[in-house]
Amino acid sequence: MALFERSEKYYQFYAQVHFLTCETCLSHHGEISEDPQYKPPLHPDCRCHLLEFPPSQLEHYQEQAERMKLRAQQELLRRKLWKEAVESLNGADPSHAEALFCQAAQVEFYLEEVEQFCAEKKELLEKNPELRARLQKLFIRFYRMKFSLDKYRAMPPKLILAWETQGIERIKELLPS
């Protein structure tokens, strides 16, 4: 391309930021290019896509890319904290794990991840009713807190209440006190 010549179109990589999204897809979240090197789907069950936009909107999408990259980094940190919390539950003091779970929940809290956790730690949870009760209380608080995040503000309150009620009941099933 000659000096000062602009591309006719640009592409921005969108990954669905979720606990199941692979690290490769998250690493490309927000990337802007004229000729994308990574074109979704990158793997089976990939839920990523490219958004095409004109050069006139490049500045807007560059600003958006910074927010998207930050969100992906936050999700990666959240995963690390969650994993450390799960691993630290094997110790005698669950308060360290609770603190790590709390830090992770500041970013996002996934009911599906709680289900996965309960399946993986079934034996530990069955043997320790005190831990189960503490985690139930903690996870219910996080699930309620989840719906105060900005991304949920535009949703109808009745829908949020239904999700919250259903999620709390599921946590109670997974971690009976």
Q: What is the pLDDT of residue 114?
A: 98
13 forms bridges with which residues in the sheet?
50
Residues of the chain with pLDDT > 70, as a percent, come to: 95
Token pair 């997974």 is found at 174
Residue type, 15: A
3-state SS class at 12:
strand
Q: How confident is the model at residue 36 (pLDDT cuts 50, 70, 90)?
A: confident
Q: What is the pLDDT of residue 177?
A: 86
Contacts (Cβ under 8 Å, ≥6 apart) of 11: 32, 33, 34, 36, 50, 51, 52, 53
Residue 8 has pLDDT above 90, yes or no: no
Average pLDDT for residues 11-38, to the nearest whole number? 93
3-state SS class at 62:
helix
125: its two tokens? 């949870």
Residue type, 163: W
pLDDT tens profile 75-132: 999 999 999 999 999 876 789 999 999 999 999 999 999 999 999 999 999 999 999 9
Q: What is the side-by-side strand order in the sheet with 32-33?
A: 32-33, 10-14, 49-53
Exposed, middle or buried, 27 (CB in 10 Å: 0-12/13-18/19+)? Answer: middle
151: its two tokens? 């991304």
Q: What is the mean pLDDT of the chain?
A: 92
Q: For the ranges 9-13, 61-65, 148-152, 161-165, which has the lowest average pLDDT? A: 148-152
Output the CA torsion 120→80→108→139 (10° steps). 40
**Are 96 and 88 within 8 A, CB to CB?**
yes
